[in-house]
Amino acid sequence: MALRYIRKIGDPILYKKAKHVEKIDDHILMILDDMAETMYSADGVGLAANQIGILRRLVVVDVGDGLIELINPEIILEEGEQIGQEGCLSVPNVTAEVKRPKKIKVKYQDRNGDIREIEGEDFLARALSHEIDHLNGVLFVDKAIRIINEDDEKKTEAE
Protein backbone atom coordinates (compact mmCIF):
# COMPACT_ATOMS: atom_id res chain seq x y z
CA MET A 1 0.00 0.00 0.00
CA ALA A 2 1.07 3.55 -0.64
CA LEU A 3 -0.07 7.04 0.14
CA ARG A 4 -1.29 8.88 -2.94
CA TYR A 5 -1.25 12.60 -3.64
CA ILE A 6 -4.71 14.14 -3.22
CA ARG A 7 -5.58 16.47 -6.08
CA LYS A 8 -6.81 19.93 -5.08
CA ILE A 9 -9.55 22.18 -6.43
CA GLY A 10 -8.57 23.61 -9.81
CA ASP A 11 -6.99 20.33 -10.98
CA PRO A 12 -8.81 19.44 -14.25
CA ILE A 13 -9.12 15.73 -13.35
CA LEU A 14 -11.54 16.61 -10.53
CA TYR A 15 -14.04 17.89 -13.11
CA LYS A 16 -13.97 14.82 -15.35
CA LYS A 17 -16.32 11.86 -15.27
CA ALA A 18 -14.68 8.63 -14.12
CA LYS A 19 -14.84 5.54 -16.32
CA HIS A 20 -16.54 2.26 -15.52
CA VAL A 21 -14.22 -0.43 -14.14
CA GLU A 22 -14.43 -3.27 -16.65
CA LYS A 23 -12.16 -5.77 -14.89
CA ILE A 24 -11.44 -6.06 -11.18
CA ASP A 25 -7.83 -7.17 -11.06
CA ASP A 26 -4.83 -6.81 -8.73
CA HIS A 27 -4.20 -3.27 -10.01
CA ILE A 28 -7.75 -2.15 -9.10
CA LEU A 29 -7.46 -3.81 -5.67
CA MET A 30 -4.12 -2.04 -5.09
CA ILE A 31 -5.75 1.29 -5.96
CA LEU A 32 -8.55 0.60 -3.43
CA ASP A 33 -5.96 -0.25 -0.76
CA ASP A 34 -3.99 2.92 -1.54
CA MET A 35 -7.17 5.00 -1.47
CA ALA A 36 -8.09 3.69 1.98
CA GLU A 37 -4.60 4.33 3.34
CA THR A 38 -4.58 7.83 1.83
CA MET A 39 -8.06 8.64 3.21
CA TYR A 40 -7.16 7.49 6.73
CA SER A 41 -3.82 9.30 6.66
CA ALA A 42 -5.58 12.55 5.69
CA ASP A 43 -8.30 12.08 8.36
CA GLY A 44 -11.01 11.89 5.70
CA VAL A 45 -14.26 9.94 5.70
CA GLY A 46 -14.33 9.29 1.97
CA LEU A 47 -12.21 9.37 -1.15
CA ALA A 48 -12.98 8.92 -4.84
CA ALA A 49 -10.39 7.75 -7.37
CA ASN A 50 -10.55 11.11 -9.22
CA GLN A 51 -9.09 12.69 -6.10
CA ILE A 52 -5.88 10.73 -6.52
CA GLY A 53 -5.74 11.30 -10.27
CA ILE A 54 -7.35 8.05 -11.44
CA LEU A 55 -10.43 8.28 -13.64
CA ARG A 56 -12.06 5.03 -12.57
CA ARG A 57 -15.35 4.56 -10.69
CA LEU A 58 -13.87 3.65 -7.30
CA VAL A 59 -14.86 5.00 -3.88
CA VAL A 60 -13.85 4.29 -0.30
CA VAL A 61 -15.86 5.54 2.69
CA ASP A 62 -15.58 5.15 6.45
CA VAL A 63 -17.96 7.21 8.60
CA GLY A 64 -16.87 5.38 11.73
CA ASP A 65 -18.43 1.97 11.12
CA GLY A 66 -15.60 0.41 9.09
CA LEU A 67 -14.28 0.66 5.56
CA ILE A 68 -16.73 0.48 2.66
CA GLU A 69 -15.27 -0.08 -0.81
CA LEU A 70 -17.44 0.55 -3.86
CA ILE A 71 -16.58 -0.30 -7.44
CA ASN A 72 -18.84 1.22 -10.12
CA PRO A 73 -21.27 2.71 -7.57
CA GLU A 74 -24.62 3.89 -8.88
CA ILE A 75 -27.31 5.68 -6.89
CA ILE A 76 -30.57 3.80 -7.39
CA LEU A 77 -32.73 5.50 -4.75
CA GLU A 78 -32.80 8.85 -2.99
CA GLU A 79 -35.33 9.82 -0.32
CA GLY A 80 -35.92 12.96 1.65
CA GLU A 81 -33.41 15.73 2.10
CA GLN A 82 -30.97 17.06 4.63
CA ILE A 83 -28.85 20.18 4.74
CA GLY A 84 -25.52 19.95 6.51
CA GLN A 85 -21.93 21.06 6.53
CA GLU A 86 -19.39 19.28 4.36
CA GLY A 87 -15.70 19.50 3.74
CA CYS A 88 -13.46 17.77 1.23
CA LEU A 89 -9.87 16.61 1.11
CA SER A 90 -9.62 18.21 -2.34
CA VAL A 91 -10.91 21.59 -1.10
CA PRO A 92 -8.84 22.31 2.01
CA ASN A 93 -9.91 24.86 4.63
CA VAL A 94 -13.40 25.26 3.19
CA THR A 95 -16.71 23.89 4.37
CA ALA A 96 -20.14 24.51 2.94
CA GLU A 97 -23.77 23.82 3.61
CA VAL A 98 -24.99 21.32 1.03
CA LYS A 99 -28.40 19.76 0.39
CA ARG A 100 -28.22 15.98 0.09
CA PRO A 101 -30.67 13.08 0.25
CA LYS A 102 -31.54 11.94 3.78
CA LYS A 103 -31.53 8.32 2.63
CA ILE A 104 -29.72 6.74 -0.29
CA LYS A 105 -29.42 3.30 -1.85
CA VAL A 106 -26.36 2.50 -3.96
CA LYS A 107 -25.73 -0.47 -6.21
CA TYR A 108 -22.06 -1.37 -6.61
CA GLN A 109 -19.56 -4.18 -7.04
CA ASP A 110 -17.37 -5.44 -4.21
CA ARG A 111 -13.73 -6.62 -4.47
CA ASN A 112 -14.89 -9.98 -5.79
CA GLY A 113 -17.03 -8.44 -8.50
CA ASP A 114 -20.26 -9.39 -6.75
CA ILE A 115 -23.12 -6.92 -7.18
CA ARG A 116 -24.30 -5.52 -3.87
CA GLU A 117 -26.48 -2.76 -2.51
CA ILE A 118 -25.91 -0.50 0.44
CA GLU A 119 -28.41 1.79 2.12
CA GLY A 120 -27.27 4.81 4.06
CA GLU A 121 -29.03 7.46 6.07
CA ASP A 122 -27.91 10.81 7.42
CA PHE A 123 -24.08 11.02 7.50
CA LEU A 124 -23.51 7.85 5.46
CA ALA A 125 -25.99 9.06 2.82
CA ARG A 126 -24.14 12.39 2.71
CA ALA A 127 -20.73 10.72 2.37
CA LEU A 128 -21.83 8.31 -0.36
CA SER A 129 -23.55 11.08 -2.32
CA HIS A 130 -20.50 13.35 -1.97
CA GLU A 131 -18.08 10.68 -3.23
CA ILE A 132 -20.29 9.56 -6.12
CA ASP A 133 -20.54 13.22 -7.16
CA HIS A 134 -16.73 13.20 -7.42
CA LEU A 135 -16.95 10.32 -9.89
CA ASN A 136 -19.19 12.53 -12.02
CA GLY A 137 -16.82 15.50 -11.89
CA VAL A 138 -18.86 17.46 -9.34
CA LEU A 139 -17.37 19.05 -6.22
CA PHE A 140 -19.37 19.84 -3.10
CA VAL A 141 -18.72 23.57 -3.58
CA ASP A 142 -20.58 23.31 -6.92
CA LYS A 143 -23.71 22.31 -4.96
CA ALA A 144 -23.17 24.57 -1.97
CA ILE A 145 -26.01 26.57 -0.53
CA ARG A 146 -23.50 28.61 1.46
CA ILE A 147 -19.67 28.50 1.44
CA ILE A 148 -17.93 28.76 4.80
CA ASN A 149 -14.21 29.52 4.77
CA GLU A 150 -12.73 28.13 7.99
CA ASP A 151 -9.81 30.57 7.88
CA ASP A 152 -12.24 33.51 7.93
CA GLU A 153 -14.15 31.97 10.86
CA LYS A 154 -10.93 31.55 12.88
CA LYS A 155 -9.96 35.20 12.24
CA THR A 156 -13.40 36.37 13.40
CA GLU A 157 -13.19 34.25 16.56
CA ALA A 158 -9.73 35.65 17.39
CA GLU A 159 -10.82 39.29 17.04
Residue 15, CB-side half-sphere exposure with 13 Å CA sphere: 6
- Known catalytic residue at 150: no
Of 74, 86, 97, 131, the catalytic one is: 131
Task: State CA 72 to chain mean position distance.
Answer: 13
Report the DSSP beta bridge partners of residue 39.
Answer: none
**Cβ-based neighbours of 56, under 8 Å, separated by 6 or more:** 18, 19, 21, 28, 31, 49
Q: Specify the pTM.
A: 0.92
> In angstroms, what is the C-alpha Rg of the chain?
15
Cβ proximity of 18 and 56 under 8 Å: yes
| CATH code that applies to domain 12-158 | 3.90.45.10
Ligand-binding site membership of 20 (annotated): no
Ligand-binding site membership of 46 (annotated): no
What does the domain layout of the chain look like in residue ranges?
Answer: 12-158
Ligand-binding site membership of 32 (annotated): no
Tens-level pLDDT at each residue, the chain (159 residues) = 789 999 999 999 999 999 999 999 999 999 999 999 999 999 999 999 999 999 999 999 999 999 999 999 999 999 999 999 999 999 999 999 999 999 999 999 999 999 999 999 999 999 999 999 999 999 999 999 999 876 544 443 444
